Amino acid sequence: MFPENKTIVLSGKLIYDDQCASCHGVNLQGQEGWQYKLVDGIRLAHPYNAEGHTWHHKDYHLFMLTKYGIEEFFNMDYPNNMPAYKNLLSNDQIISVLSYIKSKWPSHIRIKHDQLNKIFYQN
């Protein structure tokens, strides 16, 4: 991702506000009660800020989860209402939106995430 690139981050913010904020929150705060609540058996969107666990996923996983959806990518039963973006956003748009999200993390989290990206194997 390119959290330092202002042009990419700005275009990512527009996509985020349009496509992701309704669930993940205007301020990346997630949906209220995301830790414990299920609505009709469906889980709620996690926050993307430093409180969330998004930064525990390396770039590759964040990209694939956004493009194909959690269930398809992990090939598991994981009821959630997030659309797969493969037909909605281009690869560049997905990278922009994830760059915007990363740009909102405090620098110590970004550094940890950069280190995570360098690890080849991650479980």
Residue 34 Cα to chain centre, angstroms = 15
Q: Which of 2, 5, 29, 57 touches ligand HEC by CB under 6 A?
A: 57
Of positions 2, 68, 73, 82, contacts ligand HEC by CB under 6 A: 82
As a whole number of angstroms, the distance between CA 90 and CA 7 comes to 17
CA distance 29 to 105: 12
CB of 2 to ligand HEC, least distance (A): 15
Report 4-33 residues binding ligand HEC (CB under 6 A). 19-20, 22-24
Closest approach, Cβ 53 to ligand HEC, in A, equals 6
Cβ neighbourhood burial of 96 (10 Å; 0-12, 13-18, 19+) = buried
Amino acid at 11: S
Tell me which residues touch ligand HEC (CB under 6 A). 19-20, 22-24, 43-46, 52-54, 57, 62, 65-66, 70, 80-82, 85, 97
